[in-house]
Amino acid sequence: MLDNLDKIRQQFKEELNAINSKDELEKLRVAFLGKKGLVTEALKNLRNLSSDEKKIAGKEVNKLKHEIEEAIASYHKTLEEREYLKEIENAEHYDYTIPSSREAGTLHPITIVQKKIEDIFKTMGFIIEDGLEIQTEYNNFEAVNIPKNHPARDMQDTYYLENGQILKTHTSAAQNTIMKKYGAPKKGEPLKVLFPGRCFRNENLDASHENTFFQLEGMMIGDDISISNLIYFMKVLLSEVFERDVKVRLRPGFFPFVEPGFELDINCAICEGSGCSTCKQSGWIELLPCGMIHPNVLKMGGIDPDKYTGFAFGLGLTRLAMMKYNIKDIRLFNSGNLKQLKQFTR
Ligand code: PHE
């Protein structure tokens, strides 16, 4: 019996030395320690021995079993290390300390303008909110006073999802949610929110029309908000963006969710008011629609229109970036043309 154990030990050593993979090692384990393995058989054979012999042989078989188990475990580790080293050897080598041959990325021009405007408004106490891009028809239309079959919907055809939701056509789609989120403002503490976002419309693409564009909307609601507040905030905004003192004028404009509604123009910087091709000889450039929030819209947002008033403005962020950087074709913004997009840094 003991001779036999030595033979098994010897055989195991020889076979182990020839092994190169985890699969082979597993086979070896089964051949020695498996149900019908050599060591297992030896253990079974103990029953044929006298009880004295059993004591000695039993000890020896168990010792051998442990030796083999340990040898297998340690060889398993060795094989894993070998595999790992091989992987490293075969992997491509990078020297992470070599300076990149590529230039660092830049912010998209629309992001630059958006951040700038956010900063301006944050200093004036505005909260920045983030409206959903996929919206319900209710939020996009009904809640801003554009009921079903209202002609204003024609100008804002969009993409309808199979579940009946739509890609929002304007940032105003967030008005209702924001009003409900913050509720009626406290006395002397008007609600001031800025909510930029990506909008979508079914458009025929050309140099000034895109199906995907950015707007930036602002809203201020309180117990004493008037058109003067609106004009003040718009002047601050535009002077900062264009880095000059801008003059503004309001013309009547219709949007179902404001009453009265306006188109806000700024004085043309190119001709300084005398008339040129950029301002179509008028001396003014149409920039953003705005107005006093319609009582129906406040009511639907859970704010009492008899106690509160507010203004809203909707800035075409994409258009503003075009004006600021003198970009002639709106399609460049979504083009991924880095040569164009990376020139703008501030
Ligand atoms: N939501 C309007 C649009 O996309 C813009 C707007 C916003 C007008 C707020 C007035 C007040 O055309």
Segment 97-146, tens digit of pLDDT: 888 777 778 899 999 999 999 999 999 999 999 999 999 999 999 999 99
pLDDT of 167 reads 98
Instruction: Please give the distance, rounded to the nearest whole angstrom, from the Cα atom of residue 169 to the centre of ligand 1.
Output: 10
Contact residues for 144 (Cβ-Cβ < 8 A; gap 6+)? 172, 173, 175, 176, 256, 257, 297
Q: Are 296 and 304 a contacting pair, CB within 8 Å?
A: no
pLDDT of 258 reads 98
Q: Which residues line ligand 1 (CB under 6 A)?
A: 170, 172, 217, 255, 258, 289-291, 312-314
Instruction: Please give the distance, rounded to the nearest whole angstrom, from the Cα atom of residue 280 to the centre of ligand 1.
Output: 23
> Domain spanning 109-341 has what CATH number?
3.30.930.10
Pocket test for ligand 1, best of 170, 286, 288, 317 (most atoms within 8 A of CB): 170
pLDDT of 264 reads 95
DSSP codes joined into one string, 98-128: SPPSSPPP---HHHHHHHHHHHHHHHTTPEE
Pocket test for ligand 1, best of 215, 251, 262 (most atoms within 8 A of CB): 215
Rounded to 10 deg, the angle between the 2-17 and 51-90 helix axes is 0
pLDDT of 27 reads 95
The reported pTM is 0.70
User: Cα(344)–Cα(339) distance, rounded to whole angstroms?
Assistant: 10
Residues of the chain with CATH 3.30.930.10: 109-341
pLDDT tens for each residue of 299-310? 999 999 999 999
pLDDT of 105 reads 80
pLDDT of 231 reads 94
Instruction: Please give the distance, rounded to the nearest whole angstrom, from the Cα atom of residue 170 to the centre of ligand 1.
Output: 7
Phi, psi of 337 (to 5 degrees): -80, 95
Q: Which residue owns the Cα nearest ligand 1 atom 6?
A: 314
Q: Which residue owns the Cα nearest ligand 1 atom 10?
A: 290
pLDDT of 293 reads 98
Q: What is the 3-state secondary structure (H, E, C) of 198-247?
A: EEECCCCCECCECCEEEEEEEEEEECCCCHHHHHHHHHHHHHHHHCCCCC
Instruction: Please give the distance, rounded to the nearest whole angstrom, from the Cα atom of residue 256 to the centre of ligand 1.
Output: 9
List the beta bridge partners of residue 273. Answer: none
pLDDT of 120 reads 94
Pocket test for ligand 1, best of 144, 156, 171 (most atoms within 8 A of CB): 171
pLDDT of 173 reads 98
Spans of the chain, pLDDT less than 50: none
